Amino acid sequence: MQVNPTHRVERSGVSWIEHLVHEELRWILRAQDTSDFGIDAQIEIVDNDTSNATGRLIGVQIKSGLSYFQKATEDGWWFTCSTDHTSYWLGHSLPVVVMIYHPAEKIVYWQHVSPQTVQVTGKRAKIHVPRCQKLVRASKKALQPLARSASESPALEDWAAAPPDGLPQREAYFKHLVSARLSQKVRGAIVDRDFLDHDLWDMTLWVHGKPEKNYGYLDVGCHIALPSSPAGVKRILDGYRGSILPLVIFYTGLEPLSKKLQHANPEGKRAPVFVVEWLGSGAGKLLDSAVAEALKWAELN
């Protein structure tokens, strides 16, 4: 019986990735041989000091063959798929990475599937896989923070929906929550709460590796607003002056914002301002969606 060449390449990719995970990362890869609906394997993190399995997992979609390297960019390749796949991966209880295997060079490249890396183009979607993200021993530093137990993802949103009582406590709570999530979800992000000596700026987010045309790197000022009504957000907008940096306000008030406030773009010398409606009650956008929307806006300004 003749063996399908495509099947041989696919199995070669899975076997090589398993070899790299075991020998280079010193972690565990478990291939899923049954119908996977978009997840070909799971990687389990192993503690380097104790050699104990941690129960912290990453889902993996594996694609093998030269066809996945046809849509080249200056610094990588576009991986294309259906929006059904990306929706499934983004909604998965585990973080998911796409790995593409080059059979001639025996090199594996990877990318984390996140709201920041997925670009929707109609019924299709594309994910940029950087040339610099090879699956090698040094990948542990970037991959390990992605891994989590299956119970952690819903817990984070549960925390967001149950803030402490009292305005000062709520304000501190949401500032720390957003700061932690920005650092976790945005690759290369560094949050500094004391960047500017001004009451308006609670934190500044640097997104490294995304050069802005005029100013070197994209700097985003993030403010957490906790007013009892949208009028509080308007007061922040009216009082904002004099910086070239785009400002993002994560609004966690109790009333919906008008479209005008949500996409405020003052003229003159004021920097553009984008207001993300993320209701602290849990009735508004999920925090991940708010972060993705705000950063997408910031990159265009």
Task: Please state the domain count of the chain.
Answer: 2
**Could you tell me if 141 and 215 lie in one domain?**
no
How far CA 124 is from CA of 81, 83, 85, 127, in Å, comes to 6, 5, 9, 11
Q: Does 23 share its domain with 40?
A: yes
pLDDT along the chain (301 residues), means of 10: 60 90 94 71 90 91 93 93 89 90 94 88 90 93 78 55 65 70 64 49 60 53 68 70 67 70 59 71 62 73 58
| Structural domain ending residue among the three candidates 149, 170, 201 | 149
Domain boundary among 130, 149, 168: 149
Domain that holds residue 125: 5-149
CATH number, domain of 278, equals 3.40.91
Compute the distance between CA of residue 194 and CA of residue 196 in angstroms, rounded to an integer: 6
Q: Based on the domain organization, do 183 and 110 belong to the same domain?
A: no
Q: Which of 131, 135, 134, 133 is nearest to 75 (CA)?
A: 131
Residues 37 and 141 in one domain: yes
Q: Are residues 163 and 293 in the same domain?
A: yes
Choose the final residue of a domain: 129, 149, 169.
149
Domain CATH code at residue 121: 3.40.1350.10
| Cβ(28)–Cβ(51) below 8 Å | no
